[in-house]
Structure 1
Amino acid sequence: MIKNFFDHISHAFDIPLSNPVLVFALILFIILLSPILLRRIKIPGIIGLILSGIVIGPNGLNLLEKNSAVDLFSTIGLLYIMFVAGLELDMTEFRKTRHKSIMFGFLTFSVPILIGFPVCYYLLGYDMVPSILIGSMLATHTLVAYPIVNSYGISKNEAVAIAIGGTILTDTAVLVVLAVIVAAFYDNLNTQFWWSFGISFTVFLLIMFGVIPRIAKWFFQKVEGEKTSHYIFVLCVVFFAAFLSEISGLEPIIGAFMAGLALNRLIPHSSALMNRIEFIGNSIFIPFFLISVGMIVDVRILIEKPEALLIAGTLIGISMTGKWSAALLTQVLFKYSNVQRQVIYGLSGAHAAATLAVIMVGHEYGIVGENALNGTIILILASCIVASLVTESASKKIVVAGEQDVVVSKRNIAKEEQLILPIANLNNMEALLDFATLIKSKQSPHPLTVLTVVPNDELAEQNLQKARKNLDSTVKYAAGTETEVTIMTTIDYNIPNGISRAATETSADAILLGWPSKPGIIEKLVGEKTESILNQTDTNLFMCQVNRPLVSHKRLTLFCPPLAETELGFVFCMDKIQRLSQELSIPIHTICTERTKAAINEYLAKFKSSVQIVFSIHDDWDELRDLRKFVNDSDLIVFISARQGELSYRYSFDRIPKKLDKVYHLHNRILVFPRRRGGRSLDEFEEVPTTPLFQRIGRGIGSIFTKERDS
């Protein structure tokens, strides 16, 4: 019996490993330790994963063989890299730099071919078709180093944007060329081929950018509460797009990239869903792909077949020269820095997915032989190592220079940002927290402060414990977006007093409130809570009414009344509005006066904002109903108001939440009160601080016995 036990144990460790549990455990062990160990000798974790694949692969210790399970996870990882690259592409920045992306895509496609074709044809002695195939193969690149720029927080740098934008152009062009080469090799390059390919490719694009976004938008709206279902739906879209791309005559990686672009606007970069996508991909799927790339490499080929070594050396030289030349030309054309050139070269210098796809197809159809295949595999290893090292070095330099994605760092804000969220209704908690996560500065080390104020009565202590327990769900929800939240509970005789005191204690830069509920008779007489909070605080205040997902909007309509630019908090509020626009990838339609337009344009120019904004000039702000003509059904409404007594305050702003609620009750809306300079009246020191008492009583009685006239 003991012998049988030891036989069972020994067979479990037969090489190559066949037990799926043991295989998966080995892969996870490598994913865990490889980056940690190599980080000590300053080698990027990506290289460690590739080298680990060489060691454990069939051409190394043979601990693992290329089987269906490894191929499946490898394919998922490859598609995941391309999908995340498309998903995280800043579409606003991409539109701004699309001409640069097109130019870089053209250069990084044509330069390697112009160098590679004559070298393969005249120096290596290949025929015409194999020379074209190898030359086009060298024009491809895979975003193997993209996780590096993402981890350093520079994924929205313009150099990264054009490198990613160029990827779709060059890889699509190469894979189209591959389809043409295969057809030409078999003398099938005829009119029927072009018609079939053109129609299938057109249908593919129509489905990806015409049908998929509409289905995704509907799904996210109808299944809003099922967060797990959102992630599963995204995976379904990715693999469906990859399959659709394949049957259209292209490689699946193009479909995955297109899926990222199609869902880009519907998945904000700071959302919980994006966090889940990145976390699972970076933890499991992408490392699996990098390990599988290493498993392909056979170092013994270099010793046994010198021809493969010669071809590999030639291909490496062509690749590095071509890609570096394309990056250099891009730098010269657009006056980029040397560090940005390094980023462009690092991202475009790695050959893996598309390169492997091209050479495998060429070998399968007999266009190229074993030596070209083995030389290409060595090229993949060398290019991934060089590209990772270059990208790591350049990313560090950009971070040291303070040029990360965080826009606020350029604006010399004296203190770090602090946001406070008073929560009265837990039903509104998720929507308010989502909004806060979207507009919060990524640079600020301060967590979001979630506040609840408990009335000071005989049940105060009991209610305080109950409030703290209820807010635990807020912390759990925030953890989904990796947003740090601190809970703050306080006791006060008056809720506005408690909020004002907490805002002062935390030095809050902004207070984020839910939309005020309909007041009762007593509140109308003695003053509403919202008015009390406004009168007692000087800081920026945002009132939010979010009834449907923010990603469902196609445009942000911003109302800037006359002299709004003179308010002390105007720049802060504009920063949050443009950050919201960037996160949702929607343009801003601003309704304002000529003077305010000039101030906003000055702000955009000063802070080099890439937000897409259009203006409509409007001068009559006494009748707010007239503004309805500027609003579409799919708009997110943002209205900048002012506290009473401020320079930009107007009589039409009186009771503005109620007015907006009547006209735009079907819209998501945000009411903004910029920070004021202070100098508050004695009213705020009263027990129930609001506007003058007789004015409140008169207004309350009038609203009870007469029908209020809408403004």
Structure 2
Amino acid sequence: MENFLSILRGNPLVSFTILLLVILTLPPIFERLRLPGLVGLLFAGVILGKDGLYLLDADSESIELFADIGKIYLMFVAGLEIDLAEFRKTKGRSLVFGSLTFFLPLLMGTFVGLNFGFGWNSSILIGSLLASHTLLGFPIVQRLGMVKNQAVMVTIGATIFTDIAALLVLAICVSIHSGDFSAASLVMQLVSLGFYAIIILFGFYWLGKEYFRRTGDEESNQFLFVLLAVFLASIGAQLINVDKIIGAFLAGLAVNDVVGDGPVKEKVEFVGGTLFIPFFFVGMGLLLDIPAFLKTIQFQLFLVISIVGGLIAAKFLAATVAKFIYRYTWAESFTMWSLSLPQVAATLAAALVAYQVKDADGQTLINEAVFNSVIVLMLITSILGPVLTAQFATKLPLPKTREDEENRNIESTLDEWLPQLKNEIKNDHFTVLIPIYNPYTQRDLIEMGALLAKKESGIIVPVSIAAAHVHMDDPQVDGNLKQSQILLDRAIEISQEFEVSAQPIIRIDDDAAQGISRSAKEKNANLIIMGWSENTGLKARLFGTILDTVFWSSHCPVAVMRLLDHPVNLRRILVPIKNLSQATLETIKFAQLFADSNQGIITLLHICDRQTPQEQITEFKTTLSKLITEYELSKECKIKMIIHDSPSQVIIRASHQFDLVVLRSFRRRTAGGLAVSDITTEVLKKLSCSLVLFGQPHS
């Protein structure tokens, strides 16, 4: 039996299959238990390691390769997800708070290390492990609409400073431990690191910008370029004797602005979050020596308590000092503290490096007790941080900012936007572009477009994309053109029923999504209407669907529809709204246009968290009332406010009383491959009435 297991452990294909099975099954189970999914991956590593079933060997080349790739990818994504635009807005305060939340934990950790008999080098390294942080609580403040709160933005910006500084300390400590340290070598190390950072941050940025500009829509090649950049940066880091995770993090910062929030970034994060990053956490679990871990808890409990308690106290002190410097409220201070608590990405990666690097005598930079203490630290802070964020972020004052402009209140947003809306409504050139490709949904789409265009005295542009061929004289091209013409002839007949002018076009294109976007731009369309697609397979998640690409590349709003009845019968319209951002106002504008064209009634639904202060609820309702009454957005419009912790359940339940639900297109991801379930996605799966998914360009 042991020989059989040994053969299995030595087979890379078996190891890869086991890892895939673990990644697929365990994280969802732990998330149902209200524990982070990464805890499940660590647990899997322990169970499958030498102290458990021993199906995976931490020392095998394949496992080491998978874990190394995951570690590199984790730090790359950490750099990629830092919002550089927000950092630039608050860089002064971010640097101050970043310094506080770095140096105070660094001093605390160094003090703990010295008191437990570690040398200065190891003690400083222990301090650096406490100094960085991972924004696990970011999805919570995002869901609450508090991202634009200055204290939150400052904390996000501070992540850049703490992560870079912690990795720099790691590089120096590793160099000292390896015996390569001297005053001259330190200067050379810092100089080489400086030149290396400049090459990566500016050189890779320029190369990426040029490559993306020249390749245009070739997303697969752009994806490969990003992968090549991160691994080249990691190799370059090793050439100057710093750890590869420093190169990966700098590469993430370098290509941050290049990839933006587009489809390439989604592909990069999807591959990392689905495959590579989970490999790292499983590998961490494999390295855990359970008897030694329990021994550490039993005989080194005071060390564990000192490291965990020191981290919590130092981060709290940093947030408190920032509160008094910048006169933040206690709610803002506690939120900054809770956001800076979790120690996951940089901490675990650096701890693993320090645990594995050895000097000439074979001694590691940190011993097993410290490494196990860091694991306990990760477990506690990854749970405590998001829990505290959920508690304190709800007490933050309601941001009175637009999503795209700081220090602009809601009323000024309405005052600026609504006159523009009225001018747009009077536009005599209102054009609705409608891609036609499914004869079964064609009538409803044309009918919807005709209703909207007729209301605005505009036109509809049915477009059929005929697939191109290498040889344009191929009979298949002629067949595609004939099929397209049949669809467009039918579209003209339907438009005539509604007395709306139609200007049908046929476009030959290799890429249907780009053909749609380009046709819309050529016709200067005000709106694109498309049918719903249920394609959610692996290929769609990796390379995106036609809908994803149109949402991202279009110059005008896109309305994707799943209609269960003819549009003329859809009169009771539900519009769930999270906040009054520009994107939300545009969604309301679309719903109003359809309601006015079809004698419909709009209900605006706002779901509040149970911990939302009553004054915030009252203020939001007052603003909505002003939106309806003073500006006459709809003659018959209702407001519905519901307090509940699950917005998706409320929307699904409320939809039973309506004919149509209009949802805003919205997607998000988080660092470390920890995907957050989007409310819209959950609603789409269970909604039983007609729906419209409305999105702005580049959404």
Q: TM-score of the superposition, structure 1-length normalised?
A: 0.54
Q: Which among 41, 47, 54 is matched to residue 49 of structure 1?
A: 41
Q: Distance in 2 between matches of 1:294 and 1:274?
A: 28
Deviation at 1:179, TM superposition (A): 4.5
Deviation at 1:406, TM superposition (A): 9.1
The question of whether the paired residues in 1 share the 8 Å contact of 2:15 and 2:63 is answered with no
- Correspondence 1:346 to 2:341: yes
Deviations 1:208-231 (A, max 9, x none): 233212221221122224221111
Q: Distance in 2 between matches of 1:195 and 1:490?
A: 76
Q: Distance in 2 between matches of 1:62 and 1:404?
A: 55
Partner of 2:470: none
Q: Distance in 1 between matches of 2:125 and 2:208?
A: 38
- Correspondence 1:378 to 2:378: no
Deviation at 1:256, TM superposition (A): 1.6
Deviation at 1:196, TM superposition (A): 1.9
Q: Which among 223, 240, 244 is matched to residue 236 of structure 2?
A: 244
Deviations 1:413-451 (A, max 9, x none): 999x9999844899xxxxxxxxxxxxxxxxxxxxxxx97
Deviation at 1:169, TM superposition (A): 2.5
Q: Which among 453, 462, 465 is matched to residue 453 of structure 1?
A: 462
Deviation at 1:273, TM superposition (A): 0.9
Name the SS for the 1:352 alignment partner.
helix
Partner of 1:220: 212
Gap change, CA 1:344 and 1:144, over 3 Å in 2: closer
Name the SS for the 1:491 alignment partner.
helix
Partner of 1:23: 15
Deviation at 1:234, TM superposition (A): 0.4
Gap change, CA 1:512 and 1:237, over 3 Å in 2: closer
1:357-506 correspondence to structure 2 within 5 Å: 357-361=353-357, 363-364=358-359, 372-394=366-388, 396=390, 398=393, 407=403, 411=410, 422-423=432-433, 452-453=461-462, 466=484, 491-492=495-496, 497-498=501-502
Q: Which among 36, 51, 65 is matched to residue 72 of structure 1?
A: 65
Gap change, CA 1:33 and 1:232, over 3 Å in 2: same
Q: Distance in 1 between matches of 2:349 and 2:40?
A: 18
The question of whether the paired residues in 2 share the 8 Å contact of 1:108 and 1:323 is answered with yes
Between 35-44 and 335-344, the greater mean CA deviation after superposition: 335-344
**Which residue type is aligned with residue 230 of structure 1?**
Q
The question of whether the paired residues in 2 share the 8 Å contact of 1:267 and 1:273 is answered with yes
In structure 2, runs of 5+ residues without a counterpart are 437-458, 465-479, 505-515, 527-551, 555-580, 587-619, 621-699
**Which residue type is aligned with residue 203 of structure 1?**
F
Deviation at 1:195, TM superposition (A): 3.9
Deviation at 1:236, TM superposition (A): 0.4
**Which residue type is aligned with residue 356 of structure 2?**
M
Deviation at 1:283, TM superposition (A): 1.0
Partner of 1:204: 196
Deviation at 1:383, TM superposition (A): 1.9
The question of whether the paired residues in 2 share the 8 Å contact of 1:77 and 1:286 is answered with yes
- Correspondence 1:92 to 2:85: yes
The question of whether the paired residues in 2 share the 8 Å contact of 1:85 and 1:146 is answered with no
Q: Distance in 2 between matches of 1:12 and 1:92?
A: 55
- Correspondence 1:254 to 2:246: yes
The question of whether the paired residues in 2 share the 8 Å contact of 1:423 and 1:513 is answered with no
1:533-552 correspondence to structure 2 within 5 Å: none
Deviations 1:339-379 (A, max 9, x none): 62354233457731123323433x54569669x52122222
In structure 1, runs of 5+ residues without a counterpart are 1-6, 427-449, 456-461, 471-486, 501-510, 518-528, 535-548, 552-570, 577-606, 608-711
1:538-617 correspondence to structure 2 within 5 Å: none
Name the SS for the 2:340 alignment partner.
helix
Gap change, CA 1:138 and 1:365, over 3 Å in 2: farther
Q: Distance in 2 between matches of 1:29 and 1:489?
A: 53
The question of whether the paired residues in 1 share the 8 Å contact of 2:155 and 2:336 is answered with no
Q: Distance in 2 between matches of 1:231 and 1:256?
A: 16
The question of whether the paired residues in 2 share the 8 Å contact of 1:490 and 1:498 is answered with no
Deviation at 1:138, TM superposition (A): 3.4
Q: Distance in 1 between matches of 2:395 and 2:41?
A: 26
Gap change, CA 1:405 and 1:423, over 3 Å in 2: same
Q: Distance in 2 between matches of 1:43 and 1:573?
A: 33
Gap change, CA 1:235 and 1:355, over 3 Å in 2: same
Deviation at 1:308, TM superposition (A): 4.5
Q: Distance in 1 between matches of 2:121 and 2:14?
A: 45
Aligned pair count reads: 464
- Correspondence 1:117 to 2:110: yes
The question of whether the paired residues in 2 share the 8 Å contact of 1:452 and 1:489 is answered with no
**Which residue type is aligned with residue 87 of structure 1?**
L
Deviations 1:592-651 (A, max 9, x none): xxxxxxxxxxxxxxx9xxxxxxxxxxxxxxxxxxxxxxxxxxxxxxxxxxxxxxxxxxxx
Deviations 1:175-230 (A, max 9, x none): 43344445656886545314422331232122123321222122112222422111
- Correspondence 1:294 to 2:285: yes
Deviations 1:277-314 (A, max 9, x none): 12111111111112222222222114556554443343
Q: Distance in 2 between matches of 1:182 and 1:154?
A: 39
| RMSD, aligned CA | 5.0
Q: Distance in 1 between matches of 2:186 and 2:335?
A: 39
Deviations 1:516-565 (A, max 9, x none): 86xxxxxxxxxxx87xx89xxxxxxxxxxxxxx999xxxxxxxxxxxxxx
The question of whether the paired residues in 1 share the 8 Å contact of 2:31 and 2:37 is answered with yes
Deviations 1:466-497 (A, max 9, x none): 27989xxxxxxxxxxxxxxxx99953499983
**Which residue type is aligned with residue 341 of structure 2?**
G
Deviation at 1:62, TM superposition (A): 1.7
Name the SS for the 1:453 alignment partner.
strand
Deviation at 1:274, TM superposition (A): 1.5
**Which residue type is aligned with residue 273 of structure 1?**
V
Q: Distance in 2 between matches of 1:516 and 1:37?
A: 46
Q: Which among 162, 174, 177 is matched to residue 170 of structure 1?
A: 162
Between 239-248 and 185-194, the greater mean CA deviation after superposition: 185-194
Partner of 2:351: 355
Partner of 2:267: 276
Q: Distance in 2 between matches of 1:149 and 1:198?
A: 37
Deviation at 1:241, TM superposition (A): 1.4
Q: Distance in 1 between matches of 2:463 and 2:162?
A: 60
Deviation at 1:465, TM superposition (A): 6.0
The question of whether the paired residues in 2 share the 8 Å contact of 1:59 and 1:299 is answered with yes
Q: Distance in 1 between matches of 2:39 and 2:401?
A: 25
Percent identical:
27
Q: Distance in 2 between matches of 1:248 and 1:94?
A: 28
Q: TM-score of the superposition, structure 2-length normalised?
A: 0.55
Gap change, CA 1:153 and 1:242, over 3 Å in 2: farther
Partner of 2:468: none
